[in-house]
Amino acid sequence: MDFSLTEEQMMLQRSARRMVQEEIMPILQANDPDRPLPKPAMLQVYAIFAREGLTAPRLPVEAGGSGMKMLDYGLVFEQLPPALAISLLSHECTIARIYADSSEAQRARFLPELIAGRKICCTGTTEPDTGSDPRGVRTRLTETADGLVIDGRKMWITNGTVSDVMIATCSAGQGPRGNIMRRVVVEREVSPYEAREIATLGLRQGHLSEILFNECRVPKANALGESGDAARILTLTWNGNRPLVGLAAVNLGQKALDAAIEYSKVRTQFGGPIGAKQLIQERIADIAADVMASRLLCYYALDTIDKGGRANGTSAMAKRFATSACERAVSLAMHVHGAMGISREAGLEQLYRDVRMLPIPDGTNEVLTLITGRDLTGLDAIRA
């Protein structure tokens, strides 16, 4: 067991940090921090992601991807600004789902522009009444003589308003085991759908959307996979997504730790820097422990996937722990800053708003608790 990164992995981290500092942050800083990035700015970002092989890290090289190990991808992902990291996750995960669930002809049609970053994609599964249980989707898929028709509504869809392509998870009726789930690629130019931005607490430069399908007509050739296999594909990709979301929280927790350490050295009270006071050192030590434990647990979950191990419970545990621990870490850093901690000037309030967003995507912490519990006990509390 080796907890040290290889020289190649450390170079990967350094390269990612440099890319963020020199190329991505100027794009974010040139735009309103409280409004979603305009589509042209998003395409600038995606051109950078594509150049670095981040638009299809899970695909093999022969399929146009970069064939990255999940751990190596996580090392890069941790460095990305979380609003863009979550956008990238939606995009590249949709690409992975199309690849896993499509024919060669479909891959040739859909993937090149998405991998090149010239088009942005997303997955639409969650609905107003359906979140953690995707088998409860009500968006209807009807087959007609000349194609497919989609009717329904999707909620909380990352990238929805800037998307050119989306996978819609639909119900094709009832079967022996309940809802028959189908997945369909919807190309916005061919099959227009309405997308509305949802105002949120944090990650405000990202895009979280409501999607409306009103007799949306889609070619039959856009249907993916076999009828009823959508839940399996969703689960496989969720296992990789969850520790990545945890690492987005680690990014914010690390920023809070760095800020707390720096402030503790320059802020003076009672005749000296507050960093020399015992309770401040306790808070900083607790922040550091939360961030380090979160990082290592997420790395472990990704490494488990790379080694072909069972990752359902481990991935759920990693995201649940990291998002909770790093939310606590940011809050503690605000305490270290005192009154400055609640000012916009210090930037911690943005970290706090952003980190609070992360327990929601790819499984709420309540559901992740039950997934981990099921993995440990073999007993299903979700469908008992």
Angle between helix 348-357 and helix 312-337 axes, rounded to 10 deg:
160
Distance of alpha carbon 87 from alpha carbon 108, whole angstroms: 23
Domain boundary among 167, 200, 227: 227
Residue 225's pLDDT band (cuts 50, 70, 90) = confident
Q: What is the pLDDT of residue 256?
A: 98
pTM over 0.85: yes
Shared domain for 244 and 343, answered yes or no, is: yes
Task: Provide the number of structural domains found in the chain.
Answer: 3
With residue 144 as reference, give the H or E element that holds it.
Answer: strand 140-144
Shared domain for 276 and 305, answered yes or no, is: yes
Residue 229, pLDDT > 60, answer no
The answer to whether position 133 is within a domain reads yes
Shared domain for 240 and 267, answered yes or no, is: yes
Residue 233, pLDDT > 70, answer no
The answer to whether position 332 is within a domain reads yes
Residue 74, pLDDT > 70, answer yes
pLDDT tens sequence across 155-167:
999 999 999 999 9
Residue 384, pLDDT > 60, answer no
- Which CATH number do you get for residue 300? 1.20.140.10
pLDDT tens sequence across 80-113:
999 999 999 999 999 999 999 899 999 999 999 9
Residue located via tokens 């009154």: 339
For 221-239, give one letter per residue: b (16+ CB within 10 A) or e. Answer: ebbbbeebebeebbebbbb
The answer to whether position 383 is within a domain reads no
Domain boundary among 210, 227, 244: 227
Residue 283, pLDDT > 70, answer yes
In angstroms, what is the C-alpha Rg of the chain? 21
pLDDT tens sequence across 19-30:
999 999 999 999
Contact 243, 298 (CB under 8 A): yes
Shared domain for 278 and 307, answered yes or no, is: yes
- The share of the chain scoring above pLDDT 90, in percent, equals 88
To the nearest whole number, what is the mean pLDDT of the chain? 94
Shared domain for 213 and 254, answered yes or no, is: no
Coil, helix or strand at residue 291: helix
Q: What is the pLDDT of residue 58?
A: 95
Residue 252's pLDDT band (cuts 50, 70, 90) = very high
Residue 108 tokens read as 């040739």
For 238-264, what is the mean pLDDT? 97
Structural domain range at position 169: 121-227
Distance of alpha carbon 117 from alpha carbon 97, whole angstroms: 16
Q: What is the pLDDT of residue 106?
A: 96
The answer to whether position 384 is within a domain reads no
- The share of the chain scoring above pLDDT 70, in percent, equals 97
Distance of alpha carbon 353 from alpha carbon 179, whole angstroms: 36
Residue 142 tokens read as 């009807």
- Which CATH number do you get for residue 169? 2.40.110.10
Give the phi and the psi of residue 146 in degrees, each rounded to 5. Answer: -110, 10
Got the DSSP string for 214-240?
EEEEE-GGGEESSTT-HHHHHHHHHHH
Residue located via tokens 């909620």: 155
The answer to whether position 295 is within a domain reads yes
Domain boundary among 202, 227, 252: 227
Residue 181's pLDDT band (cuts 50, 70, 90) = confident
The answer to whether position 382 is within a domain reads no
Q: Dihedral angle at the C-alpha atoms of 253, 256, 260, 261, nearest 10 degrees?
A: 60
Shared domain for 141 and 104, answered yes or no, is: no
Residue 324 tokens read as 């909770």
Return the amino acid letter for 12.
Answer: L
Residue 134, pLDDT > 80, answer no
Q: What is the pLDDT of residue 176?
A: 73
The answer to whether position 265 is within a domain reads yes
Shared domain for 371 and 258, answered yes or no, is: yes
- Which CATH number do you get for residue 98? 1.10.540.10
Shared domain for 290 and 186, answered yes or no, is: no
Shared domain for 239 and 220, answered yes or no, is: no
Strand partners, 158: 208
Shared domain for 276 and 299, answered yes or no, is: yes
Q: What is the pLDDT of residue 222?
A: 97
Shared domain for 149 and 277, answered yes or no, is: no
CA distances from 20 to 13, 28, 77, 233 (A): 11, 10, 11, 31
The answer to whether position 2 is within a domain reads no
Shared domain for 181 and 218, answered yes or no, is: yes
pLDDT tens sequence across 326-367:
999 999 999 999 999 999 999 999 999 999 999 999 989 999
For CA atoms 155, 159, 164, 169, the dihedral sign is: negative
